[in-house]
Amino acid sequence: MQPIPLTMAPGRFGATTRRDAWWLAPLGVFFALSAFIVYSTWAALQGANYSFGPYLSPMYSPELFGDSPHALFGPRPGWWPALLPFSPAILVLWAPGGFRLTCYYYRGAYYKAFWADPPSCAVGEPRSSYWGERSFPLILQNVHRYFLYLALVFIVFLSYDVWRALWFENPATGEVSFGLGVGTLVLALNTTLLGGYTFSCHSLRHLIGGGIDLLSKKPARMAGYHCVSCLNRHHMLWAWTSLVWVGFSDFYVRMCAMGVWTDVRIF
């Protein structure tokens, strides 16, 4: 293809004749994502107050190694370098983090909010050079489907955490009984929202049937494709609600563990 001679000069950074508050959405994304990154990094590095009774913070799940009763393989491993800070969250949080980082929705959102590429639709950009997702480093975004596979495994673990959050131990007798606490509901909603986000993924939509042109010959995959497509229409909503709630779920468990909040047993 040949370049074409454009005669209208490109706009300077921020130049636009738009009358609406175009800066509001990218600014909101910038502050919301920044707040989450700061909180989740802080929470992940604490390595304490991440479990309370049958509850386990979703930022620490699955707890591979750790001090809580939820740990799958016992306490901190001996091979962990002494110089590195240890937290069970560090071992697992990179996977859901990578899933969100490479998510098609978040990519569009943070390119605008953090890199102004573009700041908003039909608004001038700060840079003239542009590589897109064709070359390093952004070509790595194509790894998204592998993070999806990991995210699906995490949904299994989070569902198991909700199951465990239904069984309460009597501290006096050690007897375990079925029950429901506010924390159970918090964790159940968290898994539901994360499930909605994961199952509405564009890559899953492609893998389950989007890549097939003759779907009518594969009725099971066609049904799956329609289900994922239905969820996918609200992928942005799933992305934000699940992000906020996973942060709140960690905060809830942390507050209970620190004795600041009291978990109310419904029955």
Partner 1 sequence: MSTTFQIWRGDKGSGAFKEYQTDVAEGMVVLDAVLQIQAEQAFDLAVRWNCKAGKCGSCSAEVNGQPRLMCMTRMNQLPAGEAVTIEPMRAFPHIRDLVTDVSWNFAVKKRITPFTPRPPDAPDGTWRIAQEDVDRVQEFRKCIECFLCQDVCHVLRDHRLHDRFVGPRFLIYAAALEMHPLDNENRIADLREAGGIGYCNITKCCTKVCPESITITDNGIIPLKERVVDEFYDPVRKLLRVFRS
- Piece of the chain touching partner 1 by CB under 8 A; list 79-87, 120-128, 151-159, 251-259: 120-128
**Residues contacting 167, CB < 8 A, separation 6+:** 54, 176, 177, 178, 179
Q: Which residue number, 166 or 207, has a Cβ lying nearer to partner 1? A: 207
Q: Is 266 in contact with 181 (CB distance < 8 Å)?
A: yes
Compute the distance between CA of residue 131 and CA of residue 235 in angstroms, rounded to an integer: 26
Q: How many residues line the site for partner 1 (CB under 8 A)?
A: 55
Q: Which of residues 137-196 bind partner 1 (CB under 8 A)?
A: 138-139, 142-145
Residues with Cβ within 8 Å of 224's Cβ and at least 6 positions away in sequence, in order, are: 208, 209
Residues 19-38 that bind partner 1 (CB under 8 A): 19
Does position 203 interact with partner 1 (CB under 8 A)? The reply is yes
Minimum distance, C-beta of residue 183 to partner 1, in the bound complex (Å): 35
Stretch that binds partner 1, among 39-47, 87-95, 186-194, 230-238 (CB under 8 A): 230-238
By beta-carbon proximity to partner 1, the closer residue of 1 and 172 is 1
Contact 117, 111 (CB under 8 A): yes
Question: Which position among 37, 69, 108, 156 is part of the footprint of partner 1 (CB under 8 A)?
Answer: 108
The distance of closest approach from Cβ of residue 145 to partner 1 in the complex, given in angstroms and rounded to an integer, is 7
- Residue with smaller CB distance to partner 1, 4 or 83: 4
**Distance between CA 122 and CA 131 in Å, rounded?**
19
The answer to whether residue 102 forms part of the interface with partner 1 (CB under 8 A) is no
Residue 259 contacts partner 1 per CB under 8 A: no
> Among 79, 107, 91, 98, which residue's Cα sits nearest to residue 146?
98
Whose CA is closest to 248, among 195, 196, 189, 166? Answer: 189
DSSP result, 150-209 = HHHHHHHHHHHHHHHTTEEE-TTT--EEE--BHHHHHHHHHHHHHHHHHHT-HHHHIIII
Which residue in 216, 220, 260, 262 binds partner 1 (CB under 8 A)?
216
- According to DSSP, the residues that pair with 195 across neighbouring strands are none
Q: Which CB atom, from 133 or from 169, has the smaller least distance to partner 1?
A: 133
Interacting residue with partner 1 among 62, 92, 125, 243 (CB under 8 A): 125
**What are the tokens at 6?**
């454009």
The residues that touch partner 1, with contacts defined as CB under 8 A, are: 1-11, 16-19, 104-105, 107-108, 111-112, 117-118, 121-122, 124-125, 128-130, 132-135, 138-139, 142-145, 202-203, 205-207, 210-211, 213-216, 222, 232-233, 235
